[in-house]
Structure 1
């Protein structure tokens, strides 16, 4: 009889994969260990991503922005050139000394809206005043009638970037001829030169909020009160 032979059990095909599997597991463990290391053990030159700071609110909590002095007036319905929202320019505040807006420190954009709608102004030079932002004149000897092309019922908008350092934006008006006036004010915070957050929209002289054609809500006028 031929000698008996002992059957050798076949090795599983997974046996050949064990070294590769062990290498993969080791790599995963090393990666997990790196994630658990404290910052002090991070490689030199490595930088941690800084979280983007949350934008501060434009208006300081519990603050009441508003006008200082002056009178409000609403004109009869009429067409106003250079705008799709004539209602903004048919109310105005005049003879005020300032608007004060408590807000977070930093850069902001300020848009000032004007249209000469007083029937007593018939030509250039009959109403002249200066507007200053944070104490700096930005519109010296402003003549709205002249700026609008020597015509009344024509809107003009002046925009400025300003740095608020004391926690309150101050817009001052100094008369030269007749009384200063303004129709609307738009203030928006800037972050790295770009608009950030919601804008404060003031419909000067208005007794009620106004929804513009673009859907934005312009706030009714109100008197300033210290925060």
Structure 2
């Protein structure tokens, strides 16, 4: 007959085995939850797509603009100008934001004729920004600016403040960031466009739309 000490050791061993089995059973569930959460994050930019959009401004298309510095000039043929913001409902977290610009307005012929600032989530990311100057004193030249931001209020907000002339933008790319790198599907907005557009790389740029407040 086992001693009291041996019985105690057996009880501890049985309890430990039971705990390990329970942990093993839970692991796949935890992995599935993690994968699902990551998948939800990767799809976050396109969530509530009916609501994202511009606030104010006007749209224009210049179909004959021969834009340089890009493999897909069609993105820059459409322009949204004089808007105050773009608002995009997303899950809270980190995001990579690319802003696409090209000066295609015939009224801009020199540095300083269109100057504006851009803030994302309340932080100024472009101050006294001059697309013409940034493109090397050229019209019809693409300029892309990329930033990583943190969203904590369920909505990514890009704000535009004019200084000279009106702010303008041609495209917005938004992707969730995981472990410091862009991850998953992107929301692509062709600012000023009246129809969706399939780029040469097969990605679909969404037509412009007005923001719908909740």
TM range (shorter): 0.7 to 0.9
Runs of 4+ in 1 over 4 A off after TM superposition: 40-43
Within the alignment, does 1:208 sit opposite 2:195 as a pair? yes
Please show how residues 23-172 of structure 1 align to structure 2 within 5 Å: 37-39=17-19, 51=31, 52-54=34-36, 55=38, 56=40, 57-58=43-44, 59-61=46-48, 63-172=50-159
Q: CA RMSD in A?
A: 2.2
Q: Which runs of 5+ in 1 are unaligned?
A: 1-32
Q: Distance in 2 between matches of 1:140 and 1:112?
A: 14
Q: Which has the larger radius of gyration?
A: 1
Q: Distance in 1 between matches of 2:110 and 2:21?
A: 75
CA offset digits 1:166-211 (Å, max 9, x no partner): 0000000000000000000000001111222200000000000011
The count of aligned residue pairs is: 190
Contact kept? 2:65, 2:104, Cα under 8 Å: no
Contact kept? 2:171, 2:190, Cα under 8 Å: yes
State the SS of the aligned residue for 1:38. Answer: helix
Which residue among 126, 145, 164 is the counterpart of 1:177? 164
Which protein has the bigger helix share? 2
Q: Which runs of 5+ in 2 are unaligned?
A: 1-12
What TM-score results when the alignment is normalised by the length of structure 2?
A: 0.83
Q: Distance in 1 between matches of 2:210 and 2:19?
A: 52
